[in-house]
Structure 1
């Protein structure tokens, strides 16, 4: 088989939700695919700083981070789309008024707003999930150079929160991740634009790509690529938009899908 480009979501695709484990069959499939000469990429909503070592140690050829806003090939940064400090300050100060759980993701840090009461332990859960302590958003507000690329916010179905969502939607795309959580990303960028960028850079066609995902923030790339694989543990709406549904992560879903498409040989 000619060289293909393979793109993987992280949570719910490469690592299990909650326990955060990578099945041995997934490690094996990644190694085999690279030995076949394919190029493998992480394609994630996470920014570069919050990629766990257990992922980066697998030897991926590059990373599409922050929903297409920060792209790496090897150690070379090919694209970095930054918001201005003035705009980030405006967003952070507005969100603060609504006193909702939020954290801000930058390429080199994540920021929490410690002026918002953390009554439900949101900060601790986010720190555990991202394996980062995090910094204070005041560093962005009071500074002149620091910025963030995107944010994650909890918006319970209340009138005031709908008002905040409408405000954020003027500037960003708000992706419903379930459980009242919204991933707020730069409007003109997505996991799909990241793939198209790398295709152009590597002179590959979209038909040379294979994408693996499980949730709504994967939808753009799953709909953009003909060879789209939904994990067995995916949301039903995601399964419906994919060309193939593999097994659950824990049931060797990545390995099974690669074998199905002839990307690896036993």
Structure 2
């Protein structure tokens, strides 16, 4: 088989949600696919600093991070779409006015606004998920060189949340991740734009690409390529989008899908 480009979501795709278990069959499938000459990329909403060590140790050929806003081939940075410090500060001030806890994700750090009461301890929960300690968003105000790339916040069904979402939608796309969690990404960027960028850079076509995912923030990359694979644990709306539905993460879904398509 000619060289293909494979793109993988992390949570719910390469590893299980919550516990973050990486099946040994997934590790083996990645090794076999690379041995066959294919190039494998993580395609994630996480920024580079939030990538789990168990993922980076697998030796991927590159990373599409922050929903397409930062792209690496090996360790070479090919793209980094940066917001201005002025816009970053403006957004923080506005979110602060609404009193809604948010995670501000940068390439090298994650920030919290500790001036906002976190009654439901969301910051601690998010820190546990990412496995890193958050920094104080005040650093963005104090250093004009510092910016973040995207946001993650809880927007419950209230008038205030609707207003804030409307404000953010001027500059960002707000992706509903379920349970009132929204991933707020720069307009014009997505997991799909990351695939398009690498296709052009590598001289490949979309027919040469395979994408693996399970949730709404994977929709763009799954709809972008004809060879789209939904995990067995994926949302039904995502399964209906894809060309093929494999097994759950823990039931060797990645390995079985690669076998099905003759990638290994």
Q: Does residue 92 in structure 1 map to residue 92 in structure 2? A: yes
- Paired residue for 1:27? 27
Unaligned runs of 5+ in 2: none
Alignment partners' CA distance in 1, 2:19 and 2:50: 17
Partner of 2:184: 184
Query: For residue 248 of structure 1, what is the aligned residue in structure 2?
Result: 248
Q: Matched residue of 1:41: which SS?
A: strand
Residue 144 of structure 1 aligns to a residue whose secondary structure is coil
Q: Kindly indicate whether residue 19 of structure 2 is the aligned counterpart of residue 6 of structure 1.
A: no
* Offset of residue 121 of structure 1: 1.0
1:199–1:205 Cα contact (<8 Å) kept: yes
In 2: Cα distance, 1:245 partner to 1:132 partner: 33
Distance between the aligned counterparts of 1:70 and 1:249, measured in 2?
26
Separation in structure 1 between the aligned mates of residue 94 and residue 101 of structure 2, nearest angstrom: 13
Partner of 1:153: 153
SS in 1 for 2:156: coil
Q: Which whole-Å CA distance do the structure 2 matches of 1:136 and 1:243 have between them? A: 43
Displacement of 1:142 in angstroms is 2.7
**How far off its partner does 1:143 sit?**
2.3
C-alpha displacement at 1:144, in angstroms? 1.3
| Alignment of 1:102 onto 2:105 | no
* CA distance in structure 1 between the partners assigned to 2:138 and 2:43 by the alignment: 29
Cα RMSD (Å)? 0.6
Q: Quote how far apart the aligned CAs of 1:202 are.
A: 0.5
Alignment of 1:184-263 (within 5 A): 184-263=184-263
How far the C-alpha of 1:119 sits from its partner, in A, is 0.8
Asked whether the equivalents of residues 92 and 141 of structure 1 are also in contact (C-alpha less than 8 Å), the reply is no
- Determine the C-alpha separation between the residues in 1 that align with 2:145 and 2:261: 46
8 A Cα contact 1:10 1:42, kept in partner: yes
Separation in structure 1 between the aligned mates of residue 144 and residue 192 of structure 2, nearest angstrom: 31
Any idea what SS the aligned residue of 2:64 has?
strand
Q: How many angstroms apart in 1 are the aligned matches of 2:136 and 2:120?
A: 18
The CA deviation at 1:100 is: 1.0
Equivalent residues of 1:102, 1:154 under 8 A apart: yes
> Secondary structure of the residue that 1:11 maps to in structure 2?
coil
* Aligned residue in 2 for 1:138: 138
Kept after mapping to 2: 8 A contact 1:13/1:213: yes
Aligned counterparts of 1:141 and 1:168: Cα–Cα separation in 2? 19
Q: Distance in 2 between matches of 1:196 and 1:161?
A: 33
2:57 alignment counterpart = 57
Question: How far did 1:34 drift?
Answer: 0.6
Secondary structure at the residue paired with 1:177? Answer: strand
Taking structure 2 as the reference length, the TM-score comes to: 0.99
Gaps of 5+ in 1: none
- For residue 125 of structure 1, what is the aligned residue in structure 2? 125
Please state how far the C-alpha of 1:56 moved relative to its aligned partner: 0.2
